[in-house]
Amino acid sequence: RKEVEQDPGPFNVPEGATVAFNCTYSNSASQSFFWYRQDCRKEPKLLMSVYSSGNEDGRFTAQLNRASQYISLLIRDSKLSDSATYLCVVGRSNTGKLIFGQGTTLQVKP
Which of 103, 104, 105, 108 touches another protein by CB under 8 A?
103
If the CB atoms of residues 16 and 96 are measured against another protein, the closer one turns out to be: 96
For residue 1, state whether it binds another protein (rule: CB under 8 A). Answer: no
For residue 107, state whether it binds another protein (rule: CB under 8 A). Answer: no
Q: Map residues 7-46 to x or -, x wherever contact with another protein holds by CB under 8 A.
A: -------------------------x-x---x--xxxxxx
The contacts of residue 73 (CB under 8 Å, 6+ apart) are: 20, 21, 23, 35, 47, 60, 61, 62, 86, 88
If the CB atoms of residues 20 and 46 are measured against another protein, the closer one turns out to be: 46
For residue 96, state whether it binds another protein (rule: CB under 8 A). Answer: yes
C-alpha 18/C-alpha 15 separation (Å) is 9
